[in-house]
Amino acid sequence: MKKYVIVIFLSIIIVDGYMIMRILVNKNSVNHTSQITNTNTIPKIPVTPVEFTGAIKEEIKISVAVRQISKLIDSLPINTTAFTMSMDYTNNFIIVTILSPSAKNYPIFQKWIVDNGFDQIPQEKFTIVYQ
């Protein structure tokens, strides 16, 4: 009889231990179904009309100016009877020397710039020297 009591007692302890272990495992596990969000809904992005900002025109104008500057620098030095042009590589600008008489020769320089396709180069790239 003592054997039956010991076997029953051990069986109860084993079953209780198993049940306690299951409870602890279930307590420590995360309920994954509560964390799943509905993946079928797509967030709505507000649509705003795109207005022309002028950035494209400015970008084209800048790239044209850069191309013109590059082409002009490749052509330097330029010597005419009205003006000369050379590059100051240290300060990164083009030196234009307007020869005398400057009142007559400066408009010749301006016309030459337009006629040769350098009209998009900003004035600040030129340093004008009157001689």
pLDDT digits (tens, 9 = 90+) for 57-89: 555 545 788 899 999 999 999 999 999 999 999
Give the tens place of pLDDT for each residue, 14-47: 877 777 777 776 665 555 555 555 556 666 777 7
**How many angstroms separate the Cα of 82 from the Cα of each of 25, 30, 44, 112?**
95, 87, 66, 10
Question: pTM of the entire structure?
Answer: 0.52
